[in-house]
Amino acid sequence: MKAYLAELFGTFWLVLGGCGAAVLASAFPDVGIGLLGVSLAFGLTVLTMAFAIGHISGCHLNPAVSVGLWVGGRFEGSKLLPYIVAQVIGGVLAGGVLYLIASGQAGFDVSAGFASNGYGEHSPGGYSFTAALICELVMTAMFLLVIMGATDARAPAGFAPIAIGLCLTLIHLISIPVTNTSVNPARSTGVAVFVGDWAVAQLWLFWLAPIVGGAVGALMYRLIGKTED
């Protein structure tokens, strides 16, 4: 239960920190943090939580990561569903807190996006469904490759949170214009449920592509990281 609660709190922090930066601070007058700041915010949430709860739950914070680690032989299948449930609950709770904060500003309009992920007319850069699918799949695959490599027993000890946090920052720097960057179904769900409408209608892609990508990335690492007998 401690591990499940750690995943809930950790995912809460990821969604509140990352999506909160996008909703509250990205375009704030005169001192808006922009794409660079939002990318860094997402990376910092993972980096800080990896140090805080990595020794308790492994700090997955993401259904695609949990599935990928299971495919990669690093996670027990019996814990997979409880982890995913905890992550989604944490994401939705964070979305609720963010909604309460953001709605305190005059003129707030949740239908404007609320940091939701989308494609087509709901992509920040107007990218197509196909572009969004490829982007989310590839980015999540590379994320799992880095996670599995950084946490390998042969990797330098103690540096995994830094590598993983910087990897997520880089992923956001690349893909925010395409989909607003998901690579995490819990992150996508946490804000989409408050937008409803198009955000919920397109949410399936941001479950399917990251989970498939996570599994692919884990298999890639199993191929290149296997030790010789």
DSSP string, 138-177: HHHHHHHHHHHHHTSTTSPTT-HHHHHHHHHHHHHHHHHH
DSSP tally for the chain: helices H, then strands E: 9, 0
pLDDT tens digits, one per residue of 53-63: 999 999 999 99
- State what percent of residues in the chain have pLDDT above 70: 98
Average pLDDT over residues 9-20: 96
8-state DSSP, 75: S
Instruction: Report, in angstroms and rounded to the nearest whole number, the Rg of the chain calculated over CA atoms.
Output: 17
For the cut 60, the answer to whether the pLDDT of residue 229 exceeds it is no
If pLDDT is split at 50, 70 and 90, which confidence band does 202 have?
Answer: very high
Enumerate residues 6+ apart whose C-beta is below 8 A from 58.
Answer: 3, 69, 75
Report in angstroms the alpha-carbon separations of 32 from 28, 29, 229.
Answer: 4, 6, 53
Alpha helix stretches (DSSP H) within 21-159: 34-57, 63-71, 80-102, 129-150
Nearest to 18 by CA among 36, 35, 34, 39: 39
Average pLDDT over residues 202-206: 97
For tokens 């969004």, what's the residue?
Answer: 132
pLDDT tens digits, one per residue of 96-106: 999 999 999 88
Tell me what pLDDT residue 32 has.
Answer: 79
For the cut 90, the answer to whether the pLDDT of residue 171 exceeds it is yes
Tell me what pLDDT residue 73 has.
Answer: 92
CB under 8 Å, gap of 24 or more: what pairs does 111-114 form? 111/195, 111/197, 113/180, 113/195, 113/199, 114/19, 114/23, 114/191, 114/194, 114/195, 114/199
pLDDT tens digits, one per residue of 205-218: 999 999 999 999 99
What is d(CA 22, CA 210) in angstroms, rounded to the nearest whole number? 20
Instruction: Give me the chain's average pLDDT, please.
Output: 94
Average pLDDT over residues 88-97: 97
For the cut 80, the answer to whether the pLDDT of residue 72 exceeds it is yes
For the cut 90, the answer to whether the pLDDT of residue 1 exceeds it is no
Q: Which two tokens stand for residue 68?
A: 């990928």
The pTM of this model reads: 0.93
pLDDT tens digits, one per residue of 111-167: 888 999 999 999 999 999 999 999 999 999 999 999 999 999 898 888 999 999 999
